[in-house]
Structures are given as structure tokens and as C-alpha cells.
Structure 1
Amino acid sequence: MTDKGDARHLTTAEVASRLEIKPETVYAYVSRGLLTKIPASGRRGSLFREDEVARLAHGRRHGGDRRATVEDIVSTVSRIEDDQLYYRGRNVADLVTAHPVESVANLLWTGELAPPPEEFTAPTEILATCRAAVAALPDSVRLTDRMRVAVTVAGASDQLRFDLSPQGVRRTARILLAVEVDSLGTTHDSGTLAHRLGPSLSEHPIPTDLLDSTLTLLADHGLAISTVAARVAASARVHPYGIISAGLGALDSQYHGAASTVAYRFLAEAIPDPLAAASDRLRLGGGLPGFGHLVYQTTDPRAELLLTELRTIPAAQSALTAIDTLTTHLGAPHTAIPNIDLALAVLMHAYHMRPDAGEAIFALARTIGWTAHTLEEYTEPPLRFRPTRTPTP
């Protein structure tokens, strides 16, 4: 234990011992705002205020039968620390391009970074039923709406949907990812997810490795609102099809899954004249779509990694030039941070994708993360988010 000013501080190991948790869980608490990490001057590691740790320990001991809140969720699926994103303790920067998204999914689901034992495909009869249902929709229906229909139909068609064992959940997840991709009108129903998804997004060929990298970057991001929705459903032991439906429903928002579409439209205005486009948006009293982030302070590492890859692609240069101009002229540093929605918008413009393509990429990728959180939530007490008192009318 060390003193720093008037406060007493604990090391990571001391916090873990005091709370009877693993050291990696300490950083999960940091990601959720339950603990404040303080850089340890002149030494490696971090320090934590003893009084803050004590309050947390007291709440854990005396919670009694109090039901859980979102702040009580402690997940080891991913964490955000020092503007870096980690999956199961591995920096996403070390995973992207080095491992296919199927292996990253296996990491998030099992903790093992290895190719999954089976290809992500759906039984023929389930896929045929999903395709028929989706084909009945009008051509104007968005890709994510088609995914929602496919997920619902697949769930109704799968007699094993209530197999909630880890093996059963992983089996269902492979089917879910397959029907989300293969019900969109592509002719492929084998090969990698990125290979099968590309033709539904654009008439122009999209490099499979680039699309695969994008899926990896979007696979999980802690307790985003759609992930919380998925976990609440999982706490009631809803089957995985219902859980993914809950996640997809929460994703359908301008503040969440549709943010890339908003950024795409703004970027279309900004490419010919970046400052004029920014001026128009600012005059209307809103921020600039695709810039800034609630969590990251200096850089969104997902955007940085994707934009770095896009800088090698000639077709992306006009959009990147517009972003560079805006970044140079924007004010406070946090408002000048290009986020992952803007990087997705650049990808969409470079390959002439559908305006809703970013939402579909996001939904497919996040299905992987929701599955990991489902597996984790299934190990918690059921219905832990249910209120204990009837609200006053």
C-alpha cells in the first residue's frame, strides 16, 4: 500500500486480493467506471484509491438480495484501457489482419485463439426457409431488417434452440451468423463470412481481408447498449436467437447501429467541400457525424486501424483527404477524433457500397460479441436484473 498526497492507494494485486477477484477483473471494473485507475509515477502498473476500493467492497458484501444493475456487470469478454481495445486480454491491434474473424470469434467464445472446429454454416432446410422469408420482403427493405427476419425465422425453425449449453450456444451462433449473411441474396453459402457478405454490400468487389478486418474490429465493445439488451435477455435464459434479436433491436438507432449511415451521408457532402459541409452541420446546432467518442480520449483505435488500411487504397483517397481537412480545422482534440463509424463510411464510399452496408457489417460483427456475452451471462444467476419492488403507480 502506498500514500499519494492525502489518499492511500492500492496496487492491482492488492485490489484483486481485497475484492477477491482476478487481476484482469480489476481492469474490467475500470472499463465500467467502478474503479478509477491512477498512473503509478516512476513504476510499472497502476494504483487505485483505497477508499474507492473499500466502498466497492462494502457494496459487494452488503448487497444482500439486491438485484443487479448494469454497473454490476463485470465482463472479461473485452475491455478498453488507455485508448486501446482488448479481446480476452489480447490487443485488437495484434488480432486484426493476423487472424480471421472466425478465429477471433472462437477467442471471444472459448478464450482460445484458434480456428473454430466447424465452418459457420446453417442447415439446408433452415437456410432455405430464411431465404424464402427474406425474399418475400420488398426490395426497399434494409439489410439489417432482412437480418432480423432471418434470425426470427431461423429460431422458429430450429428445434434445438433451447440448448443453452456452451456447445449448444456455439452451434446456434454459427447458424445465426450463417443465416444473417446467406439470407441477404448472395449465392455463396460456404467460405468465410467476409467472402460471403461482400456481394450483398456492393456490386464492386470488396477485398475479403479488408472486410474481415472490419468485422474483427467491430466484434465487441464492452457494454454498449445493444450488448446490455442482449445480456438482460440472456439473464432470463432466452434462447440465443431471441437474444440476438434483442441486440439487433437495440442496434436499430441513430445513436448506435445507424451511426455509420449518418456518417456516410455526411461524408458524401464533405468530399467535394469539407469545410462547407462542416459549416452547414455546425450551423444547425449538431456535431459532426463520425467525429468524437464517449469513451476514447485521444483516438478510437478501431478507426485508426481501419483508416490505416484504407490509406493504401486509391479509391479511398478523396474521402480520406476530406477527413484530414476536417481534423486539421476542428477545435478541441476530442471532437477531432475520427471514430469507427466514420472509418466505416470511408470503406463504404471507397467500394460504392449500399448506404446501409455499414449497419449490416456492424450487426454481423456484433453478433459475435453478443454470443460471447450470452455465454458469460448464462453462468450468472437467472433473472438477476429483475426489480425487487413493484414501482408506485
Structure 2
Amino acid sequence: MRDQEPGRPSGTERRLSTKEAAELLGVKPETVYAYVSRGQLSSRRAPGGRGSTFDAGEVEALARRNRRGGDPATGGELSVRTRVTLIDGDRYYFRGVDAVELAERHSYEEVAEWLWTGRLRPGVTFTAPGTSVAVARRAVDALPEHAGPADRLRVAVIAAATADPLRFDLAEEAVLGTARTLVPTLVAALPAAGPEQVDEGPLAHRLWARLSGWPADEARLRALDLALCLLADHDLAASTLAVRVAASARAHAYAAVSAGLGVIEGPLHGAASGLAHRLLLEVLDQGSAGPVVAEELRAGRRVPGLGHRLYSGEDPRARALFACLEEIPQAAPALAAARDIAATAARHIPLHPNVDLALAVLTASSGMPATAGETIFAVSRTAGWIAHALEEYAERPLRMRPSGLYTGPQPPQPLPEQPGDTSG
């Protein structure tokens, strides 16, 4: 236990500056603010409004957790060997190739093939079997109107699985065959957003017709395809870990993808872009980010679309998608609103825009609903989920079985009394 600081009244909490907290945690000052943005630390403005201070007990407890779990940049989480994606600094790589450069030069289908096999198939397109599409559409059409994207996609996956009698074959070629038909089946099962229902051509064009009733011009289709490529995988995100757990238990590919879909619906994962989309619309409606950001902070909410736990600097996916959107004149107002949000929030916490905010600019400027980002994320990430399932099928089964750290009452405890028992 440390001695009380000189001159500090007994019983008051000890506060650390940002520099002191960063040194104790062994991270950059920007990472300290990233911990704040995801709720692992609380901060308080320093007297006079210059910088932030942090509760020393909270910082020390986080440092202890990080030391027990290894590298503080990973938050002490489970480590799993993978050859799919590497995140290093403020860049990320698909099988050793810069993911942004790959996305800027290839279609989503080509990037998916690279993730699955490590080979490029120029010009490849995915085709959905008519039987699977028919079964999936009937199942999705039976859902209530208020069903969300994750609901529709989960139902579509389950329905497609029932139409595939060979789904239990976990051989690599069989799983690859499933992957190449499942992704387009998911898109085909979604209801059309306008009068046109596109079922042929690049996947981005088919998906656009499910998300927007506006005409699909080349620039917007390229932005959507780029978003699909950039989001295809991102190391062991929560949904990907769920997929690997399912695959470790030798669940078939449809079930593994369904496990991933069950996780993305949370506001901290696949649904995060929807929050950013709504925030953008509020800023556009009011003409300034100031009052909108102020209301978020006043309500105790984090400003959506800012910061990422794995990037102390700029999210490379956001940077690439913003650059693409700058080529679309109609996206200019939403882009300006996004910049206003980032600049306004930076006065409180210096965090960079993440891919959720960039995705929100795409959806808000393309006549899409707020839930469109979640659909794009889920369809895109299916490629990465399949890549991780393929890896896990090659590992020892049931290896994804961590041990619990029991913190309950120490046994033996007496049996609980029956309700109404007055004996004794």
C-alpha cells in the first residue's frame, strides 16, 4: 500500500494525470483515453479545465489485469493463433497483405477468396442456389415488419442450412462451397428497398438494391464495395470469437455464422454504425455538432463513431472509406457533419473517427435506413467468420474451453432452506 500523498486530506481519492496514468499502464496517453471511451476507466476534468485526471485505484486495478493477461494493448484477452488478420500499429493486414490496399484494388468477392484460401480469383462472383434462396426468402418474409437486420440474416442462415443436406461435411472444399453460396443467399433473402430487385452481378450491386431505393451509380457502388472489403475481418472481435468457439465444437459453417450473427446486434459491435447514423442526421438537422454532442455527454453517453480500442491513432478503415466518399458530391454534407462531430468531441476526449462513423456517412448520404450499416457489417464479416471457422476446423476440437475463475462462496455451504420451511 502506498503512503498518503503529502498535503492530501485523509479519506480523499488520489488522482493521476494523463501522463502518470499512461506510465503506470505502460501505454501511450491516447490509449488512456481509449480506455475511457470503452468504459474501463473514468476521467474527471482537472482543476482549471486543463487535461483530465484519473482515479489511481482504477488505474492500478487495470494495470494489474493487463499484467495478468499479458500485453495491455489487448486488454488481457484470450489469445488464439491465426493466419487471417494482423493488426499492427494503425494498419491491418489480411494474410500479410495490407488490407486497405487490397480493398482499394479488389472486389469484395475477391477479398473473401483471399481470406479463405490465400489465393486471388480475379473477377470471381458468388452465385446463390435457387433452392436455398427460395427457402431463405420464405422464412425472412414470414418475420414481423419490425424485425431487424440481424433477425433477418439469422433466420436466412438457419433456413439455408435446412436446404443443405451436406452441411455437416467439414472438409475444406465443402466449407468453401458453403461459403461461396451462403454469402449471396443472405443478400438475396433480404427484401428489396425499391422497385428493383437485383440478383445478378457484383455482390455490392445486389446488396445496394436491398438497402436503398435510390439508383446505384458507379461511385456509390464502389463505396459500398469498399466498405464490404474493409469490414471483412478484424482479428478476434467478439463475434469472430463466438464463431471460433462454435467451430471448435465442430458446429457446421451455417451454425458458426449464426453464432457470429448472434453477437453483432449489440450497440458496441455491429449495431454501432446505426447510433452514428442517427447522430449524423441530428447534426445535419440542427446545422451544428455542438448541441448534439453536448446532449450526448450530458446524458452520460459516449459519442458514437469515435475511438477504437485497437488503434491509438486513426482507424485505417475509416480513413480509406472517408477518402472514397469524398469523391461523391452528394456525400459532402454528411462528411462535413462527421468532421464537425470529431472536432467538437475532441475538446472533451481526443479520439479519431472510426469506421462506424465513416459507414454512417455512407448510409446517411445514400438514402439508407439507420440499420443499413448493421446489414453491411454482417454480410461483410461473414467472409471473415468463414475464414476463422476454416482455421478452427484444422485445430484440436473443443480447445476453446477457458477455465472459470470462481469467486463465489467457498464450499461446503449448507443446503438452502425450502420456502416456508419452519422446522428447527
TM-score in terms of structure 1 length:
0.79
Q: Which residue of 2 aligns with 1:17?
A: none
**Mapped pair 1:155 → 2:161:** yes
Q: Does 1:191 align with 2:201?
A: yes
Measured in 1, the distance between the counterparts of 2:402 and 2:383 equals: 29
C-alpha contact (below 8 Å) 2:293/2:344 kept by paired residues: no
Give runs of aligned pairs for residues 1-393 of structure 1, distance below 5 A: 71-115=78-122, 119-186=125-192, 187-206=197-216, 207-271=220-284, 272-331=287-346, 335-386=350-401
Listed one character per residue, the Cα deviations across residues 265-306 of structure 1 (whole Å, up to 9, x for unaligned) are 111112222111111111112221101111101100000000
1:137–1:318 CA distance, 2 compared to 1 (3 A): same
Aligned-residue offset at 1:356: 0.6
Instruction: State the 1:331 CA deviation.
Output: 3.2
Considering only aligned residues, what root-mean-square deviation do their CA atoms show, in Å?
2.5
Question: Rg bigger for which structure?
Answer: 2
> Which stretches in structure 1 are left out of the alignment for 5+ residues?
1-35, 37-58, 60-68
* Cα deviation code 1:89-140 (max 9, x no counterpart): 11122112311111111110001122376x4222211211111111112222
Q: Is the 8 A contact 2:198 2:209 kept in 1?
A: no
In the alignment of these two chains, the number of paired residues is 329
2: CA distance, partners of 1:169 / 1:252 = 25
Supply the distance in 1 between the matched residues of 2:100 and 2:267 (Cα, whole angstroms).
Answer: 27
What amino acid is aligned across from residue 317 of structure 2 in structure 1? R
Please identify, of 277-286 and 319-328, the stretch whose mean Cα deviation from structure 2 is larger: 319-328
Structure 2 runs not aligned, ≥5 long: 1-26, 28-69, 71-75, 412-424
Amino acid at match of 2:279: F
Q: Cα 1:91–1:341, aligned 2, differ >3 Å: closer, same or farther?
A: same
Partner secondary structure for residue 367 of structure 2: coil
Q: What residue identity is the alignment partner of 2:83? A: T
Q: Which deviations, in whole Å up to 9, do the C-alpha atoms of 1:49-102 show, x marking residues without a partner?
A: xxxxxxxxxx9xxxxxxxxx9623011101111200111111122112311111
Q: Which amino acid aligns with 2:131?
A: E
Supply the distance in 2 between the matched residues of 1:168 and 1:188 (Cα, whole angstroms).
Answer: 27
Q: In 2, Cα distance between the equivalents of 1:363 and 1:174?
A: 15
1:211 and 1:390 map into 2 onto residues whose CA distance is 43
* Deviation digits for residues 174-219 of structure 1 (CA, Å, limit 9, x no counterpart): 1210111000124333221101100110111243222111100000
Q: Which one-letter code corresponds to 1:153 in the other structure? A: A
CA contact (8 A) 1:78 1:86 kept: yes
Residues 285-340 of structure 1: CA deviation (Å, up to 9, x unaligned)? 22211011111011000000001111121211112112222333333797431000
SS of residue paired to 2:86: strand
1:29 corresponds to which residue?
A: none
C-alpha distance in structure 2 between counterparts of 1:112 and 1:163, whole Å: 22
Deviation of 1:249 after TM superposition, in Å, equals 0.2
- Normalised by the size of structure 2, how large is the TM-score? 0.73
The share of aligned pairs that are identical, in percent, is 45
Range with greater deviation from structure 2 (306-315 or 337-346)? 306-315
